[in-house]
Structure 1
Amino acid sequence: MSTLEKLNPVPRYSTLRITESADASVHWCHMHADLADNPGRACFKPALVNEIIQYQWSLADRMRRARGEDGAGLQHVVLASDCDAFNLGGDLQYFCDSIRRQDRHALLTYARQCVRGVHAFHTGLDAGAHSIALVQGDALGGGFEAALSCHTIVAEEGVGMGLPEVLFDLFPGMGAYSFLCKRIAPHQAERMMLSGDVLSSDELYKMGLVDMLVPRGQGVQAVEDVIRANRRIPHARAAMHRVRAMSQPVTLEEMMAITEVWVDTAMQLGEKSMRTMERLVRAQYKRHGTPAAVSA
């Protein structure tokens, strides 16, 4: 067993399973830890979003203190999942409830929290960390946005990834356009967002949207390989983060402004869009073995 595989549990959260390496330089954040005992939807429920942000704040503080005290080297944070989906996207049930109540404040608060979370992964928690998304199951909508926010995307073969929001006349507003345009041309990003197509990880690798494609079951080893490679060039990798931030900035202000457009668009949706979202909610419940809590 490699050093990277010797992970220490760090219990604290209800929706996350947190582990870290013995030397506290590799930090794994597994989403949907609650679904093992309480089947539900593998989406960005408000509780999951809030816990991710709490974890990011706490970890970033530890990283900055460690770097200041002993000159700790490049650290890594890995976003993964404890169920068969990486993440199926935003909480569509919450969207429907907020839109029907015309509660713009609730929807905007939720969206801003999502943006804070993905932007933190994009900036390495503002602590010089290298973020990695390990995608071993479907990453849709906000789940795909979360993966795109990370410095490196490792995906297993045959995984579905895409932005289906156009199916209910909405667009992905928590970073998709900003992050896609750092990897592909803007017109390709727009085409992907407006098509609603779910593509395989194999196709996305060919497009340059996935950094490393590996066979099923080999994702964890591939992440370890990425970390091992980075450890051989820690100063060059850290410098590349800074260069990327200078030449291809994605600011929190930009993302918050786009989120305002997303919320204003969502608040205009009618019953047809609501029914489509509710069908998707039922499919999410069915996928993880829980009867739908949404009327047919």
Structure 2
Amino acid sequence: MHLNQALRRRITSHTRDGGWEAAERALFGLRQLEVSWEAQTGTLWTFMRPHGRPSYNPAMLADFHAWQDGIQALFKGRESDIRYLVLGSRFPGVFNLGGDLDLFAEKIRQRDRETLVRYGRSCINILYRNMRALDLPMITIGLVQGDALGGGFESLLSFNVIVAERGVKFGLPETVFGLFPGMGAYSFLARRLGAARAEELIMSGRLCTAEEMYEMGIVHVLAEPGEGRQAVRSYIEKQSRRHGGHRAIYRAGRNVDPITLEELESIVEIWADAALELRDQDLKTMKRLVAAQDRLLGVPAVAAE
């Protein structure tokens, strides 16, 4: 969906030589991210439409970088226009299943540490910028209408608010194949739950329902199945008058025991070293998970509302 005319006129007045056109194409022409603007509430809605398995493939990561750059470019000088940023998924039954396991297995067999680190850094740079709300005066909302596993769960932890439909699953299954979630999970969970509970959740590899995540304080709003998007709308409508105060609270929270980019980068290095220690049987387990993800393909995407 293109920018509405009002926002387009505002952007044009702050750019030269048709600069808004390039920014618009960058943001609204992404291949694996469907973006739409809702001017009335100041909400930018985004839904993942993965090509292939519902995981963070390198091309999708490139789209996320372009998405973040595009948002900053479009709202430069008009920062107050954007109040909420929402990310969900069109893939039925899945928010995101995390890292590109097929790529991981290939690079581990090749002993290609550099590519593993580069992939990890790409992920945590996206996560870090999202955690900071792109330095814009907006509140970020993760909309979970399907399972969020591994990196899918990790990415959600960088949002201010998580809205999840009852029954969807959250989990960090990396220990099943001898690894650990190295792109933010430990940093976020340790600060929210304490190190002991974070380690227990990570090491167990168990799946938790949205209801359990709500009890832990990770999920903020529970919705009935199929009603997640309406729950986000209701949340925005209810909290709109408190937007400034809530945004300030989230900003303040980032200053209390802050998560730095350097911290996240150091953990990616540890993750890459651990990946290279995986045994052949671990890589076979990883491949079985890839096969399971492949079986999800061919299911029609969830239609836009």
Deviation at residue 249 of structure 1 after TM alignment: 1.1
Q: Residue in 1 aligned with 2:42?
A: 25
> Unpaired runs of 5+ in structure 2?
1-7, 9-23, 300-305
Matches within 5 A, 1:1-296: 11-23=28-40, 25-34=42-51, 40-67=52-79, 72=80, 75-84=83-92, 85-289=94-298
Once the two structures are superposed, residues 100-143 of structure 1 have per-residue CA deviations (whole angstroms, 9 ceiling, x without a partner) of 11111111111100101111221111223211100000000000
SS at match of 1:284: helix
Question: Given that residues 73 and 234 in structure 1 are in contact (C-alpha distance below 8 angstroms), is that contact kept between their aligned partners in structure 2?
Answer: no
Q: For residues 215 and 178 of structure 1, do their structure 2 counterparts lie closer, same or farther at Cα, with a shift above 3 Å needed? A: same
Rounded Cα–Cα distance in structure 2 between residues aligned with 1:50 and 1:24: 28
Which range moves more in the overlay, 19-28 or 173-182?
Answer: 19-28
- TM-score of the pair, normalised by structure 1: 0.88
1:23 deviation in Å? 4.8
Between the aligned partners of 2:108 and 2:286, the Cα distance in structure 1 is 11
| Unaligned stretches of 5+ residues in structure 1 | 1-7, 35-39, 291-296
Deviation string 1:194-252 (CA, Å, 9 cap, x unpaired) is: 01001111111111111111110111111112222332012212211221111131111
- The total of aligned residue pairs comes to 274
Shift of 1:25: 2.0
Looking at structure 1, the residues matched to 108 and 84 of structure 2 have their Cα atoms a distance apart, in angstroms, of: 38
TM-score normalised by structure 2 residue count: 0.86
Shift of 1:182: 3.0
For 1:15, the aligned partner's letter is Q
Q: Counterpart of 2:87 in 1: which secondary structure?
A: strand
Shift in CA distance, 112/134, structure 1 to aligned 2, threshold 3 Å: same
User: Which has the larger displacement, 188-197 or 236-245?
Assistant: 236-245
Distance 2:216 2:139 in 1: 22
Q: Which aligned segments of 4 or more residues in structure 1 are displaced greater than 3 angstroms?
A: 8-11
Q: CA RMSD in A?
A: 1.8
